[in-house]
Structure 1
Amino acid sequence: MHEGIWYNLPRVQKETFERAFLDVWEDTVEMPAINAEVMGLTGEVMHNLLGASKWLAEFDSMTMSELNRPGTTLKIRRLSTPSTVKSGDENATNFVWFFQNKDFSWVEFGCAEETNVMSPLVSPLSSSYDIEKCYESQKWDTMEVSITDGVFELSFTSMKLTHKSTQEEMKVRRRPECARSDVNHLRTKNQVELSVTSKEFRDVRRFLFRSLKLPEIVSIKRVQNPELWAAFKKRQDEVSSDYSSDELLNIHTLFHWVEKNMVEKICSSQFEWKHQCEEVRSLCDQNVVLFRSAEFHHTSCPSPSVRDHRLLVFKVLAGKIRTASDTSHPECSTTSHPECSTEVDNEFLPDRFMKNDKRDYCLEYIVEM
Structure 2
Amino acid sequence: MEYAWYWLDESGKWIEYGEEHPRHCSASVTSADLEKEFLSGEKDVFFTAGSQQYMLNFEDMVQTNLVFETRRKVVRRRKNDSCHDGRDRSQNSTLSCSAYPPEWNKSALPDVGYKLVSLSDDSHEYGKIKRLFEKTMKNCYIHKLQRIQNPALWQVFQWQKEQMKKLNKLKWVEERLLFHGTNPSHIPAICEQNFDWRICGTHGTMYGKVVATACL
Which of 1 and 2 has greater Rg? 1
Hey, which of these two has a bigger chunk of strand by percent?
1
